[in-house]
Structure 1
């Protein structure tokens, strides 16, 4: 029967401390008795002239008695340690519960002394206050939510006390069972373990071993294993003892076994994943102690690092072992990463080392992870363990950046250019395997895309964050990603699972892509011919590539209309801020230059869209709808504001100008019916309508400060700016089309 709130709050846990002291004294006393026995009995027997059967019996029995004194001391001391730890755990939980209770009471709530249920204390209010509170629907919602939250917090803590209580019971029971094989039968236990986490780990190992052997666990045993993992997987002693006891091979077997057990198995597998994360924890980050460094090697050879060294070596032995069948292979690294994905925050060194080991394994057997008939995928197995590790790593941007930084390793080149990504193969009786490219595209490179986004932006994928301000390492990854995609031929024909992540990355680099596509920044052009990455101050690093290389990557992304629409919207927002920051002055270079750059950039974006219309004529209506929705949507763009590094910050909410997004659907549908010629491609000028609107809006909002009216000659200046924009727009669009369509 589970413990209740009343049980926990009325139990005097200090008696455990007193009992621990008594057991410790008992252990000391047994030690003293053993010394007395050695001096006054064994020594006398050994020094006497007594011989014969009586002597032999006495001598044999005295050895057993001596062992029991030793065992009694060990058992008593182990029990004392268990009781001390029990007091520490119970007292900490009770203190935490008391803190929740006091917080609730301070806010006008009361706690049921028996159940721990929290309700609002209406009796403490005056009748007038009571009526006012109950007549306000918002108050009722807030109070109901607080009641639920307080009650759940108390229930969770009471449950943790109950789990700990089971652990204490197991440890005490285990300590008092004679397992040493010495002394009297069913005597004291000289092998008694006082570390409760180690006791629980050994019990979990025994249950897991039974499960691995093919025996079903009883309902009680299943619940016990679930509790052991839930209660202890964040403890390093428990986790390392469990994994050491199982070894890598049986750990992987356990994960595979749990995967087919339903809800109970899922909970235990989550605990197993968290135990792997806990057991492999490293004292320093990868930035402080990189994998392969002398400090890391020294740590691996230390007592603290020995587990990681042995466990990784053990995994290496079984990483390519087939735990499935010939028709449904499940290799060791696949099984490991599948389990790891169920939970746990893994240290960066462990992920880096694991990724390196998987790379070494697949270089020896390049086709190891190919998927046959889809069976492993249907069973939920991570068919590509390297991609799975990258997906896990993407949750830690610093780990992702360190792993993919081309200055630190060739991992980025290997992944984007050199690696033979797994194939999806179908076969039948007597038939040769048939590659299913569409299925391969569906599964491949999801983890890589997430890791690239995390590494290049410094934020976990899918999180809303400010635009720009990158480190040199992040900018190098962005720069080399564009280059490697072009070198490998995957820029224009981009793997589907890279399109959205690359769009998020380039959206984050909009200040750089704007300058590249603007074709007017000599600094960017020079850097594009050089190293491509430079740091120009506290605002962060910048990145430059050749315009053609960037446009080809944009074309690859554009096969996903939502992803490309997000990039387009980011460019629009950035351009709006540029225009809002232009001086209130006619015929000023600071107005001409932003107009020219923006027009050229939008022209290149539209050149990509023109190319899209010729390639997707059958589906252009849906494409245009999805693209427009992404551009005009109020969500989905990672940019929160424009950093001052690039231009004076503008409060978007108070921006003086904006424009309605031109409906691209009309132009794209019209283009889809045309022959793919340069002349027809040049007719696609939807984006120029937007730029003209922006210029007109800027002119209307920038007036003579003395009269409040448009400046003299402003109409002519507006017309001149629009013409400048049209020229740059056409140049940008035509350049993009010439790079994308070889016949032009």
Structure 2
């Protein structure tokens, strides 16, 4: 195992010299072959020697000739392996050197053995004195040094991993793998020139031992290292998956899960690490490179020229692997495979197997690699074909994934939340890590995108859990119906958020206005409009597990949502647009959508605080003259901001009152809503909120702090009317306080700020009037008046 010192001091040029010598040796064997053909082998084929002795000799001569040829193949392969090793070591040592340079630049000292220390010699005399007498300063220095030492250690570990792979290849390349060539332990006529191919072969052997239960602890360590070191290499990945095949890959991942969760729980971390590496290997092997359309321009998934470019690529060698593997996946996706988890949780006496797609998606949920959009779309289409009874090609079985157990993540500690019993929802969760693919999958500009959204919203059978009752006649468990898993729709919600925002779920929205692509905006519009329609009658029709995702999504469109909620949308005006994304959604549609997501208290708080943050940003743009002087002309920034902000706050408070009022008959529902609602903007468990600048902190605190939190609790069992009255009295003043705070900050005279009849009085009156309008407008669109 190379040390830091050895990595830094080893003369790698000796590898290229050795490669040159092996190539020269191959040349010498070529000369021997030519001479042997002429002087020895030739006499049995030129007719000068005939008879039984000649025939027997010829067979021996052929063996020797093949060995001379095999020796050339082996020597050339060794040369190629050594050159490959040189390239890898040069690259990896460069990363070690870069880590060392980064540590030094950060004020560290690095020893010859790779130990890192805080370099006090670089400090000024005063700072050095402070360091010597300040324990917290010393601790900070030690922590920084430890961080850099870990970075160097990781870089050295990568060299160690590569070194192990080179050793495997060099040991294997000299093994005569052909037992029928007439020699035992001769030269290797099938020698390979890629280190990664030998490592993949070795990994296949280890997987066989893991499957059979004969793997050693060393095998497991080697499997972890091999996958960790090579899973990003396409040659290794495709070689390994070709060896395993989809059938073998599914069996291998099932066995890893059997070991991790049932047979050898102590070794769980090792089995899961191997599975993570296998998942990354699958992502690499099926990766689609950057494609170009007929004009030579980059063709991104969802663009007009992408499908044509993809079909052309599939004809290439790389593409043929993809196509073949995808076809084999379809053949195995609905086949049954043994898995302890499914067999252990049966409510009837019938064997319960795992289907191929379930196991494959379970595998894909491991690892940290992002799968290519084409692979995700093709796999999603294949899984849907298996379950959709109205599929255009052939009817699927809507109950195909049903099992006798809730494999939900909410109870993962007690059950089996790791298993993707609903493979299509699980795959959407994987797809959410590739926002570009998610956007293309749901983009309503294509017929498939619009159809995909509609299928998941209203047509799909989401109930994948068999529920049993007891027969009155003989007490035997009988199937009574299907039910939802507790984590149903989780993947769907994540994919929708990624599709509409262009970011992985939970990503913080940037501060200020966020511009999105036209495709992302189209997804948002379609999602809002469709769920607005779906929830017209039943405000709880939006699935529970997507509500937070929907709130996160709106938090990425703060300006647009503000424009829509404020009621300023005028679609009869061709010049009107929401800022900055020109979102085409009506105010009543957005109100209904917000009411639907507000069934979840945390989701409401996300949207609420996002809008209050945006209001704070708008108020923060006002200057002293805006508060003290009425402007000439038709534009009045202060009045406009107060009016729009009041309308938004009134709308949100009415929606909050409507939600809590509807829940007042359910104590559990009310308490859960309050409990989830309670988090402060800076400690939010939901991360969709933008980063708020320091200059806005006070305004944001006024709008979203403790005063806002107490609004839910002070009138717990109130009717809607009582809640609205309470919010008008205690909630609306947050806006006037924000306006007053900004006026103080820009040094407006105190007497003018407090004047109820002057300029500030007009601004506050406009805000109050709009707040009431927001309440009335929201009452109509949320169904309270209709």
Q: TM-score, normalised by structure 1?
A: 0.86
Which residue, out of 652, 658, 666, partners 1:611? Answer: 658
1:672 alignment partner in structure 2: 717
Q: 1:535 to 1:101 in 2, by over 3 A?
A: same
Which residue, out of 394, 399, 404, partners 1:372? Answer: 404
1:511 alignment partner in structure 2: 559
2:420 alignment partner in structure 1: 382
Residue 239 of structure 1 and its aligned partner are, at CA, apart by: 0.4
Residue 130 of structure 1 and its aligned partner are, at CA, apart by: 6.5
SS at match of 2:399: coil
1:461 alignment partner in structure 2: 505
1:313 alignment partner in structure 2: 327
Which residue, out of 535, 546, 558, partners 1:498? Answer: 546
Residue 306 of structure 1 and its aligned partner are, at CA, apart by: 1.2
SS at match of 1:494: coil
Which residue, out of 424, 433, 453, partners 1:412? Answer: 453
1:111-165: CA deviation from partner (whole Å, max 9, x where unpaired): 554x433345679999998755422335423431343234333333333333222
- d(CA) in 1 for partners of 2:711 and 2:108? 61
SS at match of 1:710: helix
Q: Tell whether the 8 Å contact from 1:71 to 1:188 is kept in structure 2 after alignment.
A: yes
Larger deviation: 728-737 or 711-720?
Answer: 711-720
Q: Tell whether the 8 Å contact from 1:201 to 1:239 is kept in structure 2 after alignment.
A: yes
Correspondences of 1:61-460 after superposition (within 5 Å): 61-101=60-100, 104=103, 111-113=110-112, 115-120=113-118, 133-180=131-178, 181-212=180-211, 214-259=212-257, 260-261=259-260, 262-284=268-290, 288-290=299-301, 293-324=307-338, 327-343=351-367, 344-363=369-388, 364-374=396-406, 378-379=415-416, 380-408=418-446, 409-410=449-450, 411-427=452-468, 430-434=476-480, 437=483, 440=485, 442-460=486-504
1:736 alignment partner in structure 2: 778
1:512-554: CA deviation from partner (whole Å, max 9, x where unpaired): 333333334424x768xxxxxx9959x6422132333322222
Q: Tell whether the 8 Å contact from 1:174 to 1:199 is kept in structure 2 after alignment.
A: yes
Larger deviation: 614-623 or 473-482?
Answer: 614-623
Larger deviation: 160-169 or 428-437?
Answer: 428-437
Q: Tell whether the 8 Å contact from 1:78 to 1:193 is kept in structure 2 after alignment.
A: yes
Residue 191 of structure 1 and its aligned partner are, at CA, apart by: 0.8
Structure 1: unaligned runs, 5 residues or longer: 528-533, 643-648
CA RMSD of aligned residues (A): 3.7
Residue 303 of structure 1 and its aligned partner are, at CA, apart by: 1.4
Larger deviation: 467-476 or 130-139?
Answer: 130-139
Residue 579 of structure 1 and its aligned partner are, at CA, apart by: 4.3
Q: 1:369 to 1:620 in 2, by over 3 A?
A: closer
Which residue, out of 566, 585, 595, partners 2:606? Answer: 566
Residue 597 of structure 1 and its aligned partner are, at CA, apart by: 3.3
Larger deviation: 581-590 or 79-88?
Answer: 581-590
* 2:517 maps to 1:471: yes
Q: 1:683 to 1:172 in 2, by over 3 A?
A: closer
Residue 251 of structure 1 and its aligned partner are, at CA, apart by: 0.7
* 2:547 maps to 1:522: no
- d(CA) in 2 for partners of 1:103 and 1:725? 54
1:339-361: CA deviation from partner (whole Å, max 9, x where unpaired): 11111222222222222222222
Correspondences of 1:539-618 after superposition (within 5 Å): 540-581=580-621, 583-584=626-627, 585-586=629-630, 590=636, 591-617=638-664, 618=667
1:530 alignment partner in structure 2: none
SS at match of 1:469: coil
1:645 alignment partner in structure 2: none
Q: Tell whether the 8 Å contact from 2:711 to 2:730 is kept in structure 1 after alignment.
A: no
Q: Tell whether the 8 Å contact from 2:601 to 2:673 is kept in structure 1 after alignment.
A: yes
Larger deviation: 385-394 or 511-520?
Answer: 511-520
1:82-135: CA deviation from partner (whole Å, max 9, x where unpaired): 22222222343344434544565677755554x433345679999998755422
Q: 1:553 to 1:434 in 2, by over 3 A?
A: farther
Q: Tell whether the 8 Å contact from 1:512 to 1:542 is kept in structure 2 after alignment.
A: yes
Q: Tell whether the 8 Å contact from 2:432 to 2:498 is kept in structure 1 after alignment.
A: yes
- d(CA) in 1 for partners of 2:781 and 2:123? 76
2:347 alignment partner in structure 1: none
Q: Tell whether the 8 Å contact from 2:232 to 2:280 is kept in structure 1 after alignment.
A: yes
SS at match of 1:192: coil
Correspondences of 1:652-691 after superposition (within 5 Å): 652-653=696-697, 662=707, 665=710, 670=715, 672-674=717-719, 680=721, 683-687=724-728, 689-691=730-732
Q: 1:427 to 1:54 in 2, by over 3 A?
A: same
Q: Tell whether the 8 Å contact from 1:624 to 1:664 is kept in structure 2 after alignment.
A: no
Residue 265 of structure 1 and its aligned partner are, at CA, apart by: 1.1
Residue 244 of structure 1 and its aligned partner are, at CA, apart by: 0.7
- d(CA) in 2 for partners of 1:707 and 1:129? 45
Residue 470 of structure 1 and its aligned partner are, at CA, apart by: 2.4
- d(CA) in 1 for partners of 2:585 and 2:728? 23
- d(CA) in 1 for partners of 2:435 and 2:144? 35
Q: 1:571 to 1:14 in 2, by over 3 A?
A: closer
Q: 1:433 to 1:690 in 2, by over 3 A?
A: same
Larger deviation: 563-572 or 729-738?
Answer: 729-738
Q: 1:520 to 1:682 in 2, by over 3 A?
A: farther
Larger deviation: 160-169 or 727-736?
Answer: 727-736
Residue 318 of structure 1 and its aligned partner are, at CA, apart by: 0.8
Q: 1:331 to 1:86 in 2, by over 3 A?
A: same
- d(CA) in 1 for partners of 2:489 and 2:198? 42
Residue 702 of structure 1 and its aligned partner are, at CA, apart by: 5.4
Q: 1:76 to 1:345 in 2, by over 3 A?
A: same
SS at match of 2:31: helix
Q: 1:610 to 1:165 in 2, by over 3 A?
A: closer
Structure 2: unaligned runs, 5 residues or longer: 261-267, 293-297, 344-349, 389-395, 410-414, 471-475
What is the aligned residue count?
Answer: 721
SS at match of 1:426: strand
Residue 673 of structure 1 and its aligned partner are, at CA, apart by: 4.8
- d(CA) in 2 for partners of 1:639 and 1:667? 21
Q: TM-score, normalised by structure 2?
A: 0.82
- d(CA) in 2 for partners of 1:656 and 1:606? 17
